[in-house]
Structures are given as structure tokens and as C-alpha cells.
Amino acid sequence: MPFFDIVVVGSGGGVDETNLSGYLLKPCDASWDDGIIALEAGSGHGALGHILKRNPTLFGQIIADDGPSKRITPFTVYSNVQCFLITHAHLDHISSLVVSAGTMGGDRKFIYGSPQTLKDLETIFSGRTWPKLAGYDEDDPVSRLIYRALHADGKYKSVSQDVSVRSMTVSHGESDSGGVYESLCFFVKHIPSRHEFIFFGDVEPDSISMKPRNVNVWRAAAPKIPHDLSAIFIECSYPAGRPTETLYGHLSPDHLAQEMLNLATEVVLARDSSRKRGGRVRKRQKRDMTSPEVLYGALAGLRVYLIHCKETFSSDRPINHVIRDQCRDLLKPHNLGVEVLTADQGMKIVI
């Protein structure tokens, strides 16, 4: 049974400014005019305008409020956005939110992010780089965009009628000010069905991180896979062969494959411990986790959508398809059962 509709407004990670991280989401059983959740805001109105020219019925006819013959525009779509979930404040994740902040219609909108991300946004909506179009005060009638902090405290926070979000902190390379630059990943849950998916912003591999934290995400996800959690959106910015020292806080196919192996290991451990709790495993049946067969099929039923691939303009094929094929080749011998897909700009994904 499907739970969420997701429209891919943009899924690249630069340098193509017309295809940056931006996704629009609603529960399948709601209509787009009941309210939309925006995941990231790199690309927005402009990219959506081009997508709607190619596919005018992408949102059906429902959003048009003065009759089905009215053309659906990016303005009608974005006026229905209730909130933006922002993983971190790098420009490729926020630029359309900034540029469209003064012209977005509909009710006022909430911007959810970590306290640091909101602080970073304040430096943009400062009155210098851009007008002060966002603020913390919900009672201020002038603010059309309201900051709301998401704390990585293990709890799910309701962001719309049927959707709640849990955020976890992940590492995204070294910060220029020292230490690790932090980003978030979101567990987005359809409250009535308890079905959820994971959405990563930018993230670096645990194997090279000063502060490896992906394993915490995998441990939180493992007991839910695949029944309650069957999709993960995760970046794979660069193609295979990229030297580790030039990853700048991102994944490449080798690291993506290793992260999937780490997740599969957690899934096997979670299933073992749930069997133990049920009294169905005797001590002598303990698994040999060093054997590759132990992970066979561990991720069956899980779909992984690759996002944030960085365009190089050097291939006739889209770069995300090149990277997807490299990931599939690397994962094939491991028989994890995971399905590796791409989230292409303009696609509607049903999960």
C-alpha cells in the first residue's frame, strides 16, 4: 500500500543550478491542496515551471481553485506548501526558499531545521544579503516564514496533520571553523499507517568521518526495515574512483556500498535480537557475522533513491544514472536484496 507521493523538483547536487535538491511531499490519501511539505529548497519555482510545461498534469487538476481548466503554476503549488524541512543551510539546499521568500502565496509557512541551520538562515535573511522575510515570532503579522527548531532528541514532531518527523544529526565534512559540519537526516512518518522513509541531506561516510554517526541512523532504521520503512533517499555526490581527500563531506559509490553493508549488518543484528526476545534462538545458533552469506537478502524490500549527484556535463547519460549503475555493480556480489534507483528531476515517486 502506498503512503507518500513525492515530486522531485530537483535532485542534483550542483553545479547545475536548475536542478538542486528540492522535493514536494504529501500523503497519498490527501490531495495536493490539503497541504504540501517541502523537503529542502534548492530548486523551486523556476525548475517546477519547466517541469509543469513538460507534464502539466503532474499534480492532477486539484490544485486549481477556480475550475479544472486553470493552468497549475509553480505559484499555485508553492502557495500550498505548509512547511520546509531543511537539512542544512548550504545554498544548494535553500536557494529557492530565499529567492521566493517574498513572493510565496498562501498561508505563512514554517521552516524546520536544526538551531544552527536556522541561525545560518538568519545571516541570509538579515536585511543585507536578503530582506528580513523570516523570523521566530509566530505572532508577528509581517513574517511570512517562521523559524521552528527541530531538535535531534529522538522524538517525532508533527509537521502537518498526518506527518511527523524525527531528525538525526549526521556529519558532512570538516567545518571551516573547525570540527565537523553538521547536517540532518529525517525520518518522515505517515502517522496513521506508521510507515516512514529516511531522507538524507548531505552526508559523509562513517569510514572517513572524524565523527561517524551514520551507524546511529542505521541502528534506528534497522528494526523497521522493510515493513515500516521501505525507502531511503541518500546522496551519492560523486562517481566511483574519486579520491577520499576530495569528497568534501560527500559519498561516492564505494562508500555508499559500504554504508549499505553497515545497514544490512544492523538489520541482521536487529532481527536476531528480536528473535532472542521471542525466545526463538538458542545460544549455539549465534551467527558468524564475518561470513558474507549472513547479509544475503537483509535489505530485500528496501528501495534506495540516489540523490545529490554532482553534474559534470561530461557524459551523454545523466550523471545520476552513471552513479546508480556503479552502485549496483558494487552491491551486486553482496546480494543484499536492496533496489538502487534514481530520483530524476520531474519524477513523481510513490512510496
Distance CA(193)–CA(116), nearest Å, equals 32
Least Å from the CB of residue 50 to Zn ion: 21
Least Å from the CB of residue 308 to Zn ion: 6
| Concatenated DSSP letters of 10-54 | EEEESS-TTSEEEEEEEETTS-GGG-EEEEEESS-HHHHHHHHHH
Give the x/- contact pattern for Zn ion in 111-140, rule: CB under 5 A.
------------------------------
Q: Closer to Zn ion by CB, 42 or 346: give it.
A: 42
Q: Closer to Zn ion by CB, 119 or 287: give it.
A: 119
R_g of the chain computed on alpha carbons? 20
Binds Zn ion (CB under 5 A): choice among 182, 202, 259, 266: 202
Sole window of 7-15, 264-272, 329-337, 341-349 interacting with Zn ion (rule: CB under 5 A): 7-15
Sole window of 85-93, 149-157, 284-292, 321-329 interacting with Zn ion (rule: CB under 5 A): 85-93
Task: By CB under 5 A, tell whether 310 contacts Zn ion.
Answer: no
Give the x/- contact pattern for Zn ion in 157-196, rule: CB under 5 A.
----------------------------------------
Least Å from the CB of residue 21 to Zn ion: 6
Sole window of 91-99, 111-119, 256-264, 342-350 interacting with Zn ion (rule: CB under 5 A): 91-99
- Give how many residues touch Zn ion by CB under 5 A: 4
Task: By CB under 5 A, tell whether 90 contacts Zn ion.
Answer: yes
Q: Closer to Zn ion by CB, 184 or 331: give it.
A: 184
Distance CA(198)–CA(113), nearest Å, equals 16
Task: By CB under 5 A, tell whether 45 contacts Zn ion.
Answer: no
Sole window of 9-17, 146-154, 256-264, 291-299 interacting with Zn ion (rule: CB under 5 A): 9-17
Least Å from the CB of residue 179 to Zn ion: 15
Distance CA(288)–CA(158), nearest Å, equals 41
Q: Closer to Zn ion by CB, 202 or 266: give it.
A: 202
Task: With beta carbons less than 8 A apart as the criterion, state whether 341 and 2 touch.
Answer: no
Task: With beta carbons less than 8 A apart as the criterion, state whether 340 and 327 touch.
Answer: yes
Q: Closer to Zn ion by CB, 40 or 162: give it.
A: 40
Distance CA(330)–CA(333), nearest Å, equals 7
Buried b (16+ CB within 10 A) or exposed e, 17-37: bebbbbbbbbbeebebbebbb
Sole window of 201-209, 274-282, 328-336, 343-351 interacting with Zn ion (rule: CB under 5 A): 201-209
Beta bridge partners of 81: 36
CA atoms 34, 39, 45, 47: torsion sign: negative
Sheet strand arrangement including 134-135: 134-135, 145-149, 109-113, 81-85, 36-41, 20-27, 4-13, 348-350
**Grid coordinates standing for 84?**
520546509
Least Å from the CB of residue 241 to Zn ion: 21
Determine the straight-line distance between the first and last CA of the chain, rounded to whole angstroms: 8
Task: With beta carbons less than 8 A apart as the criterion, state whether 79 and 105 touch.
Answer: yes
Return residues touching Zn ion (CB under 5 A).
13, 90, 92, 202
